[in-house]
Amino acid sequence: MAADAPVAHEPDALRDLAIDVAREAGHLLRGYAVGRAGGVDLHIGAKSSRTDPVSEADRAAERLIAERLAVARPHDGLLGEEDQAARQGSSGLTWVVDPLDGTVNFLYGLPMWSVSIAVVDAAGSLAGAVYDPSHDEVFHAARGLGAGMNDRPIRCTDVDELGQTLVATGFSYDADVRADQGSFAAELLAVVRDLRRGGSAALDLCWVGAGRLDAYIEYGLQPWDWAAGRLIVAEAGGVVSEHQATFGGRSHTGVCAAGRAAHDRLVAWLEARP
């Protein structure tokens, strides 16, 4: 096929490809998890700080995803967290990939980590999937076609009272930023039902879409953290918006995701903070 040949952009086909590749990468990672439990060296290094790890499992999963997408969609671009196979495309589509979201959980043997794959166009996320290998759950969505988990549709909750809203959040790897985020979390904890900190932004968003959480707020995310999850929330009837706040002396962009009523109340609270 010529480089400028037309490329099909059907959201449902792109979603199904994301599901298949995410599952394959998840199965690969489960093998690494078994090896890690048995004492296999995963060659763990650090990225942004000493508490931000990367392992051979992350790198292997991204290689697999990049190879599968290059074969299936050779004219699309690719943006991955580990940046091993980034490429420009000519189709107008870019795949945004987090091969292992929740690396710390993975390395500690905690069962909350995931593979997140989304494809975006000029209007935003077009299709995506997030696979949770620990529970064999794949969350998925395609623009205008709704969201699901495995073979059933999902929907955000309709809670409309701030004090009844169960909120997930997360924290930076930077100690100064994390300290300020801790103070923010204490403020938030005083006005909502409770807080949860799972350790995988992609799964937090999916759980909002599936009604297991009412809302999710976190600052300092990267595109691969939420490219698939934000679409899943939106297609499950929720709202995702971006906000700015200062932590550690720097401005950070944050994400607020929830059903519409809970989202609006959380945003009003965020905007009223000094």
Mean pLDDT, 10 residues at a time, the chain of 274 residues: 52 97 96 66 61 74 94 94 76 96 92 97 97 98 98 97 97 93 97 97 98 97 94 98 95 96 97 88
pLDDT recorded at residue 1: 35
SS3 231: helix
**Same domain, residue pair 251 and 184:** yes
Residue at 200 is within a domain: yes
**Same domain, residue pair 196 and 233:** yes
Residue 162 contacts by C-beta under 8 Å, 6 or more apart in sequence? Answer: 191, 192, 262, 265, 266, 269
**Same domain, residue pair 34 and 123:** yes
Q: Is 154 exposed, middle or buried (0-12, 13-18, 19+ CB in 10 A)?
A: buried
171 close to 178: Cβ distance less than 8 angstroms = yes
Q: What DSSP element (H or E) covers 204? A: helix 201-209
pLDDT recorded at residue 4: 43
Residue at 157 is within a domain: no
**Same domain, residue pair 15 and 147:** yes
**Same domain, residue pair 168 and 46:** no
**Same domain, residue pair 189 and 136:** no
DSSP secondary-structure letter at 3? T
Residue at 5 is within a domain: no
Max Cα distance, the chain (Å): 58
- Which of 123, 151, 179 marks a domain boundary? 151
**Same domain, residue pair 128 and 171:** no
Q: Are strands 215-219 and 166-168 parallel, antiparallel or unpaired?
A: parallel
Structure token digits, residue 98: 């987090």
Residue 193 belongs to domain spanning: 162-272
**Same domain, residue pair 139 and 193:** no
C-alpha Rg value of the chain to the nearest Å: 18
pLDDT recorded at residue 46: 60
The CATH number of the domain where 98 resides is what? 3.30.540.10
- Helix intervals (H) in 7-147: 11-37, 56-72, 103-108
- Which of 100, 129, 151 marks a domain boundary? 151
**Same domain, residue pair 172 and 147:** no
166 close to 213: Cβ distance less than 8 angstroms = yes
- Which of 112, 129, 151 marks a domain boundary? 151
Q: Which of 220, 256, 218, 222 is nearest to 240 (CA)?
A: 256
**Same domain, residue pair 96 and 185:** no
Q: What DSSP element (H or E) covers 99? A: strand 94-101
Rounded Cα gap, residues 42 and 58, in angstroms: 9
**Same domain, residue pair 110 and 211:** no
Residue at 251 is within a domain: yes
Residue at 4 is within a domain: no
C-alpha torsion sign, points 142, 146, 149, 151: negative
Domain count, the chain: 2
Residue at 51 is within a domain: yes
